Amino acid sequence: MGIFDDREKAQENKYFHNEELRFKLIARRNKLFGAWVAEKLGKTGPAAEAYVQDVVRADFTEAGDADMLAKVASDLKAAGKAVPDKDLKGKLAELQKAAIRQLEAEK
C-alpha cells in the first residue's frame, strides 16, 4: 500500500501546486488589467492603486470573469470611455499571456 499512498500524496501535491499557480496567474492578470483600466480612466498614484484593488476584489463576486468585466465596463462607460466587451476580453487575454511571462521569469 505504500506505493499507492505515495502516488496519491504526489497527485494531491501536484493538484495543490497547480491550483496555487492558477490563483497567482489570475491575480497577476487581474492586477495588470486593473492598472490598464485605471490608466484609461486617468487614475494615477494611490487612486490607481485603489482602483486596481477594486478590480481584483470584483473578480471574487462570482466564478469567472463576468463580474470583473461588468464592473470595468460600467466604470469606463460612466467615464465616457466605453470599450466594447470583445475588446475588454481581448485585453484580458493579452494580459493573461503577460502574467504568464512574468511568473515564468520569476522562477
Output the pLDDT for position 52. 97
Tens of pLDDT along 64-77?
899 999 999 999 99
Among candidate residues 29, 9, 11, the one with its CA nearest the CA of residue 21: 29
Buried b (16+ CB within 10 A) or exposed e, 5-43: eeeeeeeeeeeeeeeeeeeeebebbbbbbbbbbbeebeb
- CATH code of 2-106, in short, is 1.10.790.20
Q: What is the pLDDT of residues 35-60, one digit of tens each?
A: 999 999 999 999 999 999 999 999 88
Domain boundaries, the chain: 2-106
Say which range, 21-25, 44-48, 87-91, has the weakest mean pLDDT: 21-25
